[in-house]
Amino acid sequence: MTPAVRQYLVITGNYWAFTLTDGALRMLVVLHFHQLGYSPLEIALLFVFYEFFGVVTNLVGGYLGARMGLNRTMNLGLLLQIIALGMLAVPAAMLTVPWVMAAQAMSGIAKDLNKMSAKSGIKLLVPDDQQGQLYKWVAILTGSKNTLKGVGFFLGGVLLMSAGFTGAVLIMGAALLLVWLSSLFLLKQELGKSKAKPKFTDILSKSRAINVLSAARLFLFGARDVWFVVALPVYLHTVFGWDFWKVGGFMATWIIGYGFIQTIAPRLTGSRQNTMPARGAAAGWAAALAAIPALIALALMAGIAPKLAIIGGLLLFGVLFAINSSLHSYLIVSFARGDGVSLDVGFYYMSNAAGRLLGTILSGWVYQVYGLEACLWISSGLVAMAAFLVFWLPEREAAPA
């Protein structure tokens, strides 16, 4: 096993452990506070700081990664998540909205430090002339992360039912503490530290490709979260009458399948024909995705059985969204500079977090005022914007896989 592969496994293991707690915590907060009688908009507002500080963290975190090294930013992310879980393990009387929002802010900072460090680290472990290998490693990291996030959704529902809210966050915090202690010793020192000390102004990308991809990513993830974050779990519980086990289990299954499709995306997008995907592939897959939420909305408006329309449409949406996400993740790592990679990746995932922030707020507000169909129409429009934007990527010859 080469040193690069060993470091890849450490990075991936850290990312997996963090993702489990992140997915479980998201489901815990949604279901617990819905159980307490919070409205969809109020639940969405609990995540505003999570997403907002994700935007800030990605923007500044890329700079910190280039200055300090990605090993330090990844371990810092793990530590902050442990603190966030500890903040939620307080007596129920202290779980006020401002307190939960503050804990979610801490978790948002932690998540994006960890994510930026993991994605940037992969770029440094694969030679530039092995783009096919880079695409596969990025796809495996991204897909496995989302698979485990789905497991985390199910874990959150199970822990809430079996251990209660406080017990659940204490169990997750203890497990993540062990991972953090191991990472301090196993992760290579100075990983990703830039040879030339970047200036703070370098956090803003000067690359056309990075800027275009970042804008497309904002709309892509806004399109997912506008109906997936708050609207869908609440709809499944209130309209379908599903209990928390079913809601958590269904959404976990969806995320697991979505993650699996991400891991095999290189086989679906051309790498078997010895070419790497470029802007045409990204635009085409996004255009196909844009049609799915619109078709689900039309089916609901036409009176087609809601369970058939929602579940069937969501499965198809998951397949196409997974391919789009995997394509984008590869393209950003491929276009990013070698020295100071975290600056480009951090800027890109800042836009990713901004899209989630937009989608989260809209998910609670639009669903509460206009219903699920309106969320779906907005989702379709946002994906269409992402498809349009990737046409502005610079011309690039397909590289051998």
Give the tens place of pLDDT for each residue, 34-84. 778 777 777 777 777 877 887 777 777 666 766 677 778 888 888 999 999
Residue 73 in any domain: the answer is yes
Which of helix, strand or coil describes residue 127? coil
**Per residue, what are the HEC states of 179-217?**
HHHHHHHHCCCCCCCCCCCCCHHHHCCCCHHHHHHHHHH
Measured distance CA(44)–CA(28) in Å, rounded: 13
Highest mean pLDDT among 12-21, 87-96, 164-173: 164-173
Residue 373 in any domain: the answer is yes
Q: Do the beta carbons of residue 367 and residue 232 sit within 8 Å?
A: no
Measured distance CA(277)–CA(217) in Å, rounded: 16
Lowest-confidence pick of 127-136, 192-201, 275-284: 192-201
Residue 66 in any domain: the answer is yes
Higher pLDDT, 178 or 394: 178
Residue 398 in any domain: the answer is no
CA separation, residue 96 to residues 28, 57, 103, 107, 248 (Å): 15, 24, 11, 17, 24
Tens-digit pLDDT profile for residues 3-28 = 666 776 777 788 888 888 888 888 88
Predicted local distance difference test score (pLDDT) of residue 39: 77
Residue 397 in any domain: the answer is no
Q: Nearest-CA neighbor of 160 among 49, 232, 79, 247?
A: 247
Within 8 A by CB and 6+ apart from 22, the residues are 81, 107, 111, 149, 152
Measured distance CA(182)–CA(160) in Å, rounded: 27
Identify the band that residue 255 occupies on the pLDDT scale cut at 50, 70 and 90: confident
Predicted local distance difference test score (pLDDT) of residue 199: 55
Q: Nearest-CA neighbor of 260 among 311, 312, 319?
A: 319
Identify the burial level of 157 via C-beta atoms within 10 angstroms of its C-beta, where 0-12 means exposed, 13-18 middle and 19 or more buried. Answer: buried
Instruction: State how many domains the chain has.
Output: 1
Residue 395 in any domain: the answer is no
Predicted local distance difference test score (pLDDT) of residue 397: 40
Residue 251 in any domain: the answer is yes
pLDDT of 247 > 60? The answer is yes
- Mean pLDDT in residue range 250-265: 81
Residue 378 in any domain: the answer is yes
Identify the band that residue 101 occupies on the pLDDT scale cut at 50, 70 and 90: confident
Lowest-confidence pick of 199-208, 216-225, 292-301, 334-343: 199-208
- CATH code for position 122: 1.20.1250.20
Identify the band that residue 205 occupies on the pLDDT scale cut at 50, 70 and 90: low
Predicted local distance difference test score (pLDDT) of residue 174: 92
Measured distance CA(179)–CA(173) in Å, rounded: 10
pTM, full prediction: 0.69
Phi, psi dihedrals of residue 205, rounded to the nearest 5° = -70, 140
Q: Do the beta carbons of residue 142 and residue 21 sit within 8 Å?
A: no
Distance from the Cα of residue 326 to its chain's centroid: 11
Q: Nearest-CA neighbor of 390 among 261, 258, 289, 291?
A: 289
- Mean pLDDT in residue range 371-383: 92
Phi, psi dihedrals of residue 171, rounded to the nearest 5° = -60, -45
Predicted local distance difference test score (pLDDT) of residue 376: 94
- Mean pLDDT in residue range 166-181: 90
Tens-digit pLDDT profile for residues 349-369 = 778 878 888 888 888 788 888
What does the buried/exposed string (b/e) look like for 241-250 if buried means 16 or more CB atoms within 10 Å of the residue's CB? ebebeebbbb
Predicted local distance difference test score (pLDDT) of residue 292: 94
Measured distance CA(357)–CA(343) in Å, rounded: 21
Predicted local distance difference test score (pLDDT) of residue 50: 79
Predicted local distance difference test score (pLDDT) of residue 385: 92
Q: What domain range is 63 assigned to?
A: 3-390
Identify the burial level of 201 via C-beta atoms within 10 angstroms of its C-beta, where 0-12 means exposed, 13-18 middle and 19 or more buried. Answer: exposed
- Mean pLDDT in residue range 229-255: 81
